[in-house]
Structure formats: structure tokens, C-alpha cells
Structure 1
Amino acid sequence: MPRTGLQAQRTEQRREQRQALRERILQVSREIVKREGFASLSMRKLAEAIDYSPAALYLHFRSRDEIARALRTEGHARLREAFLAHSTIVDPAARLNAMARAYVEFGLAEPETYRLMFMMFMEPAAFADAGAEATASGHAAESGAAALSLIADAFVELRAADRLPPRAAPLACAEGLWANLHGIVALKLNGASLPETPVATLVELSLDAWFAPVNGTESRFTCANRPDTSTR
């Protein structure tokens, strides 16, 4: 094999090895966070778990906060996938119900990841173009916005069908519903004495509240009379 070919092969092998180690670091970090919480994650503990020196880890992640940003990006991507699983439900109200349930289920099933995504303050990257750290932060924001847009799209369809209160803006409704769902998850994760109502019921009541009767007229969206949930 020509020397240039050998060099290219070695370069590709080194790239694959670096990528494999990066993925291994994230995998073990994910396991530690899920088992013990982010506060228990340290570069030293991580290095011991994967049998590498801390110096080797710093070649891939400059700090544990950078690891946290990568885990947040993964979490946002998984949440969006959970929403997409219901994107083919024809009726937008039924779609919202399914996505709302998926959101709460995700938060309760992945509590430490959820805390990283929505309940922990993260220092912004020092520089807007600061490599992987800024990229991960940007990807998390993009993934979060993409998930929100799926909720907003359903509200847009409801607006077009005249199934929203007159002054309800679709994006504002999406943000409000998200905040409501976050409140349900946060209360459960923090072990609050309330709510005592089952989570599934809280989700349905939250959705009903957005479509409460206006001027004494009957609500055009109720969980008791939920529209067809068949897919396209």
C-alpha cells in the first residue's frame, strides 16, 4: 500500500478510536448519572470506571459540564423522538394528549437526565465558537426547539379548525402546556406531598384546562370525548 494510503488508514483508525472512547465516556457518564445523579459524577470517578487516566478524558471533554451538555443534547433528541412516535395521529387534540403523556413518562423514567435538561443551571460556553462545548449547547437548544415546534404545530391545526379560544396564540399555548407538564414532572421528582392525583389524570386535566368553556359555551376539547386517535 502506498505511504499516503497507509497514512490515511492510520488517520481513520485514530479517528475511530477517538470516537469510540468519546462514546464510551458518554456511556459510562450516563450510567453514573442515572444511578447516582449528576452531583456524583467527577472526572476522576469517570476515569476509574473506564480505566483511563483523567488526562485522557480531558482530550475529549474539558470538564464534567461539557459532558453534561452532551448528555442534555442526547436527552433532548430522545424526547423529540418520543414526540415523533405520535406525530402521525390525525387529530391534533389527540396528538397533544399522546405527546403530553410521552413527555411526563420520559421525565419520570429518566429523572436525572430530565434534571440535567430542565432543572439544572448550566454555565454557557465561554465562547460562541468554542468547539464541541458550544456545539453541544447549540444542538440541545435546537432539539428543544424542535420538540416544542411539534406541540406548537398541533395548536396551529387546532387554531385553523377553530378549536382554540379566540385569543389563544398557538406558540403561547405550546409554551404554556410545556410549562404545565414540566410542573407535574418537577413536583413528582422533587418528592412534593402534592399532587396526590395520578399523573395520567393530571395530564388530562391539564389539557382540558386549555380548552375550558368560553362564555358559557361547551368546551370543544375534552378528554372525556376525545377525538379519533387513528394514524394517517
Structure 2
Amino acid sequence: MGIAERKERVREEMKQMITTAAMKMFLEEGYAKTSIRNIADSIEYSPGTIYLYYKDKDELLYEVQRQAYGKLLEAFKAGAVSKDPLERLEQLGKLYVAFGLDNPELYDLMFIIRAPMNVDEKLHQSNGGDTFAFLVQCLEECMKGNLLIFKDIQLAALQIWSMVHGLVSLNLRCRLKIMVPVDEDIRFTLFRAVEEYLEAIRA
């Protein structure tokens, strides 16, 4: 391994150490209460070291969010495998809901906390793009087969994403308690809501 390759490996290892520590603190302490100094202390480096890799906490949050979207995409690829596009769309919806239920703090960082303000707008647009594209690709197959009522694929993707996001967000903010029987598992209820919605939008 040459000097350049070794330096790059060290750089990537340091960035991974920083983002791992940042994600842990964002999840445990909350984004607002976490500072660059806190993160630096946790990995036993100076704040200046972190600034060599990330210009501020917003850029670090963006990177943590990017990694979280990667985890969601991995879940999609592993679980949404049906050859039937409608069945795969249902799998996607349930996987999304399950991800939010199983990772509430991480979901909050990804979708509910304010977007990083000091990150380039082009980066904002690309963050999570592969995950959204997975949904769009599934919808393209559905719409080519005239399986859904939608005519505009972007509006279809927006509606479906908004529906599952709404279910997860309402649950995270404890707004579904009045609607869900106390003896009923919330996961069962939200999965049933996904099934009913997808049935309603079939052509």
C-alpha cells in the first residue's frame, strides 16, 4: 500500500470514528445538546481535529443522516424482494414503518429534526436519493402495468411516502393512542393501515 492510499485509509477511519461517536451522542443526548467539543471529548481528540473533516455540526448531522438512509436502503433491498411490484410496494411500506418503529431516535434524526441549515442545497437534494429512487423504481413497474390509480409517478411517490411517514411520525409523537385499542399491537395496526391504503389506490 502506497503513502497516498495509507493516508486515505487513515482519513476514512477517522471520519468513521467521528460519525459513529456523533450518531451515538445525537441519539442518546439529542442533537441540540451535543456539541463538537462533546464529540471530540468522547473520542479523545481535540475539537480542531473534527473541524479538519467537518466544517460544523450541521455538516456532521448531514453525514449521520446519509448513513442512516443507507441503513434504510439496506432494509429495502433485503426485504422488498417480491417479483410482483404491488406486493413489493406493500413490502416497502411495511419495511419503512418497521424501520421507524424499531429506530425511533434515528428516524427522528432522519426525518423530523430540522434539516442541516449550513449544508449545500445540492447535498440536501442528494441525501436519501437512492432510498427514494428504490420506491420510484417499484412505482414505475406498478404504473407500467396499470396497477395503480396514479398517472404522475412523482405525485404517487410523494403520496405514498407521506402516508407511511405520517403513520410513523404520529406514533413517535404519541398521537395514535386514542385510535389504537390498548390490547392491539401498534405494529399490527400500522401494517394494516398500509395494506388498506394500498388496496385503495389499486387501479
TM-score (norm 1): 0.73
- CA 1:177–1:203: 2 relative to 1, 3 Å: farther
- CA 1:101–1:148: 2 relative to 1, 3 Å: same
Residues 86 and 98 in structure 1, CA contact (< 8 A), matched pair in contact too: yes
Percent identical among aligned pairs is 25
2:163 and 2:178 map into 1 onto residues whose CA distance is 14
**CA deviation profile, 1:36-61 (whole Å, cap 9, x unmatched):** 22223211111111111111121111
Does 1:212 pair with 2:196? no
Instruction: Report what 1:63 is aligned to.
Output: 56
- Pair member with larger Rg: 1
Instruction: Report what 1:169 is aligned to.
Output: 152
* Number of residue pairs matched by the alignment: 198
- CA 1:121–1:176: 2 relative to 1, 3 Å: same
1:75 and 1:54 map into 2 onto residues whose CA distance is 24
1:56 and 1:144 map into 2 onto residues whose CA distance is 27
CA-based RMSD of the aligned residues comes to 2.7
Which runs of structure 2 are paired with 1:102-181 in the superposition (5 Å)? 102-125=95-118, 134=120, 138=123, 141-165=125-149, 167-181=150-164
* Alpha-carbon offset, residue 69 of structure 1: 0.4
TM-score (norm 2): 0.82
Q: Which runs of 5+ in 2 are unaligned?
A: none
Q: Which runs of 5+ in 1 are unaligned?
A: 126-132, 214-218, 221-232
Residues 62 and 116 in structure 2, CA contact (< 8 A), matched pair in contact too: no
- CA 1:105–1:111: 2 relative to 1, 3 Å: same
Does 1:90 pair with 2:78? no
- Counterpart residue type for residue 159 of structure 1: M
2:77 and 2:115 map into 1 onto residues whose CA distance is 27
The answer to which of 32-41 and 67-76 deviates more is 32-41
Instruction: Report what 1:225 is aligned to.
Output: none
